[in-house]
Chains A and B, each alone.
Chain A
């Protein structure tokens, strides 16, 4: 086990997970999906968690995303001790602080793009008018300003994933967790999505964590945390990061999206 020696840093990490163990019980059999994972990620990072299938990436992401809780270990998100929170408090944290992007988009199918983006704001108790406004801004910032009323199932895969990204950023979260976000896309759409994430991170300062089994995808980030068999096996800075966006000159600047808070 490679101890990750984080540099002495005065900043509060967005993610501070220590000795996370996750054991699934299936009848008599116990599956140790995570066996003591410690990881610290700071605000503004663009990092990836990379490992082969079954290595525990999704399990780790679920715990980091407060969708699940560890069997043992401690996890602080934005300095808040998540282990002690109730289900409703976790729901609130997910709503305010985390944006999820999934491999299979998970949009409401027969629902217009803008309403898909609105969903987290509904649970956040945001009023209707502000909801509309922010959702439109989010869709514009992912380049779908002309597709607001399109139903999810009328959009291409790449467009659907962009709607999902708009949904993830509309709450202005401090952290975006993306689990194999390009897994269901062709390489061109995939590159567009990667470009979006890079710009989100660059221009809005949102912390973005990628989960992937693909070395190439991981190379789009600046830090690659390797995981195998439920343990962290490496944590390196990427030397030559792949930039997915075409010449910055031809890209529209991202409008409206404010800097992420905290």
Chain B
């Protein structure tokens, strides 16, 4: 008796019990579908996060005051009294190699008013290069330029959110808004970046660095050393391979400038985009595995469903098994028949599961910002797993069937 006959026999039996076969199969389909969809969503989230980071500029290194604890959390045990100053910035620009471009910002919270409209966002004082380093330009009007900085001009470039809040439906260009009661002329509106897990990136506004330091936030604009305070130094490195060198150079330079003893930790942090991506990547990888594991449990439950149905089927068909043995079926033939039934259920269930998974992933992409990526490896994994489930949960009932004594089976009522 060859394999084709075995498969034909089991298909016949399944066809005689369509509803039951379909329901059993559905259990596996749900499992496989869940595995594929959830893995796709996990991968999509990973891509999304990477994109969010790259969209804020490529090959970017940020230097910020205080110590970021490893494993997340922006603790700042040294307080703001240490901070970074303009002289730190100049020293970095002057001596660190492989820098393509640099920028700096300093700012604080600003209360915006225009007529009766209000908005409260962070205002950053920046140099003109900020726009290129952050890979972010204006939608209308222009960005801060050297003239603005030289003249400590009271001009502002609004983020889209602020523009919407203050000028709903109106053109804000050349209008005068008040920031913390100081009048500023609007010279531009930034392109929309959208919101992400990093927050609403458009809820911001830019003014010249000098204006921020000397006119708007002068109260906090001094470091302990009497320098002009800055919040962030942005360094755009030539390429990713230069990143470690730049990081090391900045570390060495600032440690020396801040007179940090050999064993003491930094009072600043050098954060690179790549590191952030890696950190978040690790987190989302765990997430993906976790989602996959949850889905795998449902696949397991589907497998138990198969076993359950097969066991019922063996009991129900005891007389049939007895008859088959009487007319010449060997134990192997019976084993094969029942195993083929289980495998077929799980395999076809797996195929339908692929459709469900891909469809589910697509549905998610319609409603969320995430674009799930169905990967071949996930599909292979899910289908392989479902076959294994069919084999594992099918073999016990099949063995039971094959070991039935024909006489007992024929006597069975």
In the complex, given contacts A91-B329, A123-B324, what are 16 additional A-B residue pairs having Cβ atoms less than 8 angstroms apart?
Answer: A62-B407, A67-B325, A67-B406, A91-B331, A94-B326, A102-B410, A106-B410, A108-B320, A111-B12, A122-B1, A122-B5, A123-B327, A123-B329, A123-B330, A124-B328, A171-B328
Q: Give residues in B with beta carbon < 8 Å to A.
A: 1-2, 5, 9, 12, 16, 319-320, 322-333, 406-407, 410
Contact of A123 among B16, B333, B410 (CB under 8 A): B333
Q: Is the CB of A100 within 8 A of B326?
A: yes
- Whether B320 and A65, one on each chain, are in contact in the complex, defined by CB atoms closer than 8 angstroms, is no
Known: A108-B320, A115-B12, A125-B1. A120 touches B410 (CB 8 A): no
Task: Give Cα A62–Cα B163 distance, bound, in whole angstroms.
Answer: 94
Report yes or no: B331 in contact with A120, Cβ–Cβ below 8 A: no
- Give Cα A88 to B402, complex, Å: 12
Chain B residue contacts of A96, Cβ below 8 A: 328
User: A122 contacts which chain B residues (CB < 8 A)?
Assistant: 1, 5, 9
Residues of A within 8 A of B330 (CB): 87-88, 91-92, 123
Q: Identify which of residues 111-165 in chain A touch chain B, using a CB-to-CB cut-off of 8 Å.
A: 111, 115, 119-120, 122-125
| Nearest CB in chain B: distance from A151 CB, A | 9
A144 to B324, CA, bound (A): 22
> B329 — which chain A residues lie within 8 A by C-beta?
91, 123
Q: Judge whether A167 is part of the interface by a CB distance below 8 angstroms.
A: yes
User: Are the C-beta atoms of A106 and B407 separated by less than 8 Å?
Assistant: no
What is the predominant secondary structure among interface residues of chain B facing chain A? helix
Q: Which residues of B contact A100 (CB under 8 A)?
A: 326-327
Contacts of B9 in A (CB 8 A): 122
Q: Which residues of A contact B322 (CB under 8 A)?
A: 106
Give the docked Cα–Cα distance between A106 and B320 (Å).
7
Closest residue of chain B to A88 (Cβ to Cβ) is: B330
- Rounded to whole Å, the gap between the CB of A104 and the closest CB of chain B is 8
Specify the chain B residue showing the minimal Cβ separation from A108: B320
Nearest-Cβ distance from residue B329 to partner chain A, whole angstroms? 5
A-B contact count (CB 8 A): 63
Which listed residue, A102, A110, A115, A120, touches B328 by the CB 8 Å rule? A120
- Please state if A120 and B16 are interface contacts (CB–CB under 8 Å): no
Least CB separation from A124: chain B residue: B328
Interface residues on A, range: 20 to 34
CB of A192 within 8 Å of the partner chain = no
5 intermolecular pairs with C-beta atoms under 8 Å apart: A87-B330, A92-B328, A94-B328, A119-B327, A123-B333
Say yes or no: A95 contacts B327, CB within 8 Å.
yes
- Please name all residues of chain B whose beta carbon is closer than 8 Å to the beta carbon of A94 when the two chains form the complex: 325-328
Of all chain B residues, which has the CB nearest A65?
B326
Q: Which residues of B contact A115 (CB under 8 A)?
A: 12
Taken together as a complex, chains A and B put the C-alpha atoms of A216 and B290 apart, in Å, by: 74
Cα A18 to Cα B110 in complex, Å, equals: 110
- What's the least CB distance linking B222 to chain A, in Å? 91
A68 at the interface (CB under 8 A from B): yes
A122→B333 CA distance, assembly (Å): 10
Given contacts A91-B325, A95-B328, A119-B327, contact A106 B319 (CB under 8 A): yes
Q: Which residues of B contact A171 (CB under 8 A)?
A: 328
Within the complex, what minimum Cβ distance (angstroms) separates A256 from chain B? 20
Residues from 77 to 103 in A contacting B, C-beta threshold 8 Å: 87-88, 91-92, 94-96, 100, 102
Complex CA gap A88/B12 in Å reads 24
Chain A residues, CB < 8 A from B328: 91-92, 94-96, 120, 123-124, 171
> Which of A108, A110, A167 has the most C-beta atoms of chain B within 10 angstroms of its own C-beta?
A108
Provide the residues of chain A in CB contact with B320, threshold 8 Å.
106, 108
Q: Is the CB of B327 within 8 A of A120?
A: yes
- What's the minimum C-beta distance from A78 to chain B, rounded to whole angstroms? 16
Residue picked from A67, A115, A167, most chain B C-beta under 10 Å: A67
Q: How far is the CA of A92 from the CA of B327 in the complex (A)?
A: 9
Nearest opposing residue in chain A for B322, CB measure:
A106
Which residues on A sit within 8 Å (CB–CB) of B2? 125
Q: List the A side residues contacting B407 at CB < 8 Å.
A: 62, 67-68
Q: Which residues of A contact B410 (CB under 8 A)?
A: 67, 102, 106
CA distance A145 to B326 in the complex (A): 25
What A residues does B5 contact at CB under 8 A? 122
Give the Cβ gap from B314 to chain A, nearest Cβ, in Å: 15
Taking CB as reference atom, which chain B residue is nearest A92?
B328
Report the Cα distance A125→B3, complex, angstroms. 11
Set B324, B326, B332, B333: member contacting A67, Cβ < 8 A: B326
Residues of A within 8 A of B406 (CB): 67-68
| Given the contacts A67-B407, A122-B5, A122-B9, A167 and B327 also touching, CB distance less than 8 Å | yes
Tell me the bound Cα distance from A96 to B406 in angstroms. 17
Q: How far is the CB of B16 from chain A (nearest CB, A)?
A: 4
Q: Please determine whether A111 and B16 come into contact, CB atoms closer than 8 angstroms.
A: yes
Q: In the complex, A87→B329 CA distance in Å? A: 10
Q: Which residue of B lies closest to A93 (CB)?
A: B328
Q: How far apart sit A124 and B327, CA to CA, in the bound complex (Å)?
A: 9
Query: Which residues of chain A are within 8 angstroms of B326 by Cβ–Cβ distance?
Result: 65, 67, 94, 100, 106
The answer to whether B16 and A106 have CB atoms under 8 Å apart is no
In the complex formed, the residue of B with least CB distance to A123 is B328
A119 to B9: give the CA distance in the assembly, Å: 9
Chain B residues with Cβ under 8 A from A111's Cβ? 12, 16
Q: Return the CB mask of A177-216 against B: 1 if under 8 Å, else 0.
A: 0000000000000000000000000000000000000000
> In chain B, what residue has the closest Cβ to A87?
B331
* Chain B residue nearest in CB terms to A59: B407
Chain B residues with CB below 8 A from A119, complex form:
324, 327
Nearest A residue to B8, CB-CB? A122
Inter-chain contacts of B333 with A (CB < 8 A): 123
**Structural contact, B327 and A110, CB atoms closer than 8 A:** no
Inside 8 A of A62's CB, which chain B residues have their CB? 407
Tell me the nearest residue of chain A to B326, going by C-beta. Answer: A100
CB distance from B313 to the nearest CB of A (A): 13
